[in-house]
Structure 1
Amino acid sequence: MKSSTIRALDPCLVCGDKAIGFNFGVLSCMACKAFFRRNAVKLGTYDFICPKDGDCSITHTYRRLCNCCRLAKCFRVGMQKDLILTEAAKEARRQTVAQNRQKREQETKTKCLDLISTSKIEHLSYYQSSYLSQSDQILLENIYNAYESTCMVVKNSQHPDFPSRKHTQLFEYLNEYSSIHKVLIEYFKIIPEFNSLCMYDKICLIRNQFGVIININEAIIHPGITTNLVVSLSNVYGVHITNRLLKSIERIIPFTHDPIVLKLLLIIVTFCSGNYRNRGDNDMDQICNDTLSVFFAQNIYVELLWKYVLSRSSTEFDVVKFFDKLVQFLLYLLDVHLLVDGYINNQIHDIEQMAPLMQSMWPKPTNDESNFMNDMDTEQY
């Protein structure tokens, strides 16, 4: 069976426009779906009369010229009137969908809790001491508190929702995120291993993991999927990329029930010295100058995440399963953002209207690093 993203590119069997899926039993576009729902129920109470000979051409261009022939073609290609829901049936269906969604969310949460039970960070002292040393616990508390005092404080005071409205332009969407990203950079500067790197390496790390960092950070401060997000992504990226991005958000949800995992993952991903972006600049093959320091820093937090998960799991096998799922998710996320980068590369007009920090994520070969360095050096935003 074809996926919904592939079906969206197939032609409507009624008028030939791009279909959105199967409606009333037939692959059709949004316009013909609405037309059939509105007019099929009128049969017997309304006379549909063709102004010509009853054989009008029904195409994307001329479909509105004759309702009689259009409705006849709807039935001819197989649309079924009995599949049109009454208002009572619609309400019952909405309630069923809501109940199923709630059930799925509860099952997802339960599965996650079977592996890592949710608790407050203040309870770290009760974890199995054989896995987490006192210095490990202090480091975990510092990570938690540093994130809460920067990203979460600004989120609560300035960005309770993101996006705050339904965007129609790419540059507007990323410009709203720009101030959130500035605060995230401020958080990274609190991490000793990051702050000790040279400016060039800091820029490389933030820039090279940009898309993945956004996904993980947003899952922490703005978990879930809102109407504003779905509409904005659809307007900005189109159906295919939006479906992939929404899928990545769904796949990260099981990890959001723990107060530490994603905060550690955010640091681990940032300390990836390789460049996994899909940009059009000439510096794609450049990596960090001090790759050894970056590698050692990443190892510190990978080992800490392992011990943290182990301290909250029944067996080592559970930890292996957890990391397997985590790696699969990261690989999926990298693939999605290669697709996003490739799309944004071609939106030159939008890039030119982005805020300086966002624009610096897609640098031109001749650009200097002034915009990025200004943000990296700023103490307050």
Structure 2
Amino acid sequence: MNNSSTTRSFNPCLVCGDKSIGFNFGVLSCMACKAFFRRNAVRLGTYDFTCPKDGDCSITHTFRRICNCCRLAKCFRVGMRKDLILSEAEKEARRKTVAKNRQKREQVLKTQCLDMVPVSTIQYFTPHQLTYLSQSDRILLGNVFNTYETTCIAARNSHLPEFPTKKHTNLYDFLNEYSLMHKVLIDYFKVIPEFNTLAIDDKICLIRNQFGVVNNINEAIVHPGISNNLIVSSSNVYGTYITNRLIKSIQRIAPFTNDPIILKLLLLVVAFSSGNCRNRNDTEMDQICNDTLSIYFAQNIYTELLWKYVLSRSSTEIDAVKFFDKLVQFLLYLLDVHLLIDGYINGLYFEIEQMEPLMQSMWPKPIKRDSSLMSGMDVESD
């Protein structure tokens, strides 16, 4: 395989513009700026940071070591949080907690795989359904259903009763509010064994590449229907044409919400699509997953399970084929809608800059195109 085809690209560090390694102290940053902030943020008040110039040094990958004063100031300006720096004792306590929680999760998953889920959790399986669904299929269906209920549905019931909660007038507020539900969806994916065993880069790749489609499907399950807040917010943010397409996609998905499991399975089928389902017109985030074979196997598991489940719910195989055809048609329509939305958001550089880190990471870092248009918005010129 050509090495260039699997070269991974990363969002730039918000402090110096170098390649980031992930979120550190609340902000996308590189290893150097992460270490710099950890060392120096705790010294505030006990050490005088002075700038050799007038406090306006350019902090870039090349010149980031020139002025610690301006570099630390920029760390705070882009959102790094001193309160997230852990002491050695806190780090050790956290490591123990993480290890303990991992053991608990592994035990729960083992129990779920060994114990048959009560049939009343989903529905009563008729003899006709048992023709298509083996015992392992029924266990897996129960696990998917219960895991989703204890993550996404539980979060909705406790603190996310509706979306949006108000009529938004700009994109970043609209998506920032949704970031809470998106975090819960990511937590759900982490509990899926086939997803949890993937390398972190492949997990990030899947979450980014299927962002719009999986969130639309998830919203149909968690917040079914079309609220007035959604119509007004979407119209304000996307305009009439995109809003009409988006509303139509919600209307087309509505019939599938009557079944307790179909959309939950479809969500996993889409989530394990290794191809890029986004329209971002860039190479920065056009990532190719490394372990495509494992991803393909995982998708095949849930695609086959979805097909078997549809067969078990249909009177005849012809009815099952017709239903599956409608499901695929809906999915293609939904993909087209989100390609349209991506194309619209790509050019909204200021809006992307105002998004919370998680939402901002779903799009490439805005590039300074024109000094007169982007004055004051380029990170490296801060």
TM-score of the pair, normalised by structure 1: 0.63
Gaps spanning 5+ residues in structure 2: where? 1-118, 368-382
Matched, 1:258 2:259: yes
Contact 1:171 1:353 in 2 (8 A): yes
Matched, 1:274 2:271: no
Q: CA RMSD in A?
A: 1.5
- Residue in structure 2 matched with residue 174 of structure 1 by the alignment: 175
Contact 2:151 2:184 in 1 (8 A): yes
Superposed CA offset, 1:286-342 (max 9, x none): 321011111110000000011111111110111110111011111111111111001
> Which residue type is aligned with residue 163 of structure 1?
P
Gaps spanning 5+ residues in structure 1: where? 1-118, 367-381
- Residue in structure 2 matched with residue 165 of structure 1 by the alignment: 166
> Which residue type is aligned with residue 328 of structure 1?
Q
> Which residue type is aligned with residue 220 of structure 1?
I
Rounded Cα–Cα distance in structure 1 between residues aligned with 2:366 and 2:203: 19
> Which residue type is aligned with residue 243 of structure 2?
T
TM-score of the pair, normalised by structure 2: 0.63
- Residue in structure 2 matched with residue 287 of structure 1 by the alignment: 288
Aligned counterparts, 1:172-251, within 5 A = 172-251=173-252
Q: 1:120 to 1:240 in 2, by over 3 A?
A: farther
CA shift, 1:350, in A, is 0.8
> Which residue type is aligned with residue 305 of structure 1?
L
Q: State the structure with bigger RCO (CA 8 A, min sep 6), 1 or 2.
A: 2
Q: Percent identity?
A: 71
CA shift, 1:281, in A, is 3.3
Matched, 1:126 2:126: yes
SS of 1:163 mapped into structure 2: coil
Q: 1:177 to 1:133 in 2, by over 3 A?
A: same
Contact 1:205 1:271 in 2 (8 A): yes
SS of 2:131 mapped into structure 1: coil
Contact 1:131 1:307 in 2 (8 A): yes
SS of 1:130 mapped into structure 2: helix
Contact 1:121 1:259 in 2 (8 A): no
Contact 1:120 1:259 in 2 (8 A): no
> Which residue type is aligned with residue 265 of structure 1?
L
Aligned length, in residue pairs: 248
> Which residue type is aligned with residue 306 of structure 2?
L
- Residue in structure 2 matched with residue 156 of structure 1 by the alignment: 157
SS of 2:265 mapped into structure 1: helix
Rounded Cα–Cα distance in structure 1 between residues aligned with 2:124 and 2:360: 40
Rounded Cα–Cα distance in structure 2 between residues aligned with 1:320 and 1:284: 36
SS of 2:183 mapped into structure 1: helix
Contact 1:282 1:365 in 2 (8 A): no
CA shift, 1:213, in A, is 0.8
CA shift, 1:276, in A, is 1.7
> Which residue type is aligned with residue 359 of structure 1?
Q
Contact 2:167 2:233 in 1 (8 A): yes
- Residue in structure 1 matched with residue 147 of structure 2 by the alignment: 146
> Which residue type is aligned with residue 123 of structure 1?
Q
Rounded Cα–Cα distance in structure 1 between residues aligned with 2:232 and 2:169: 8
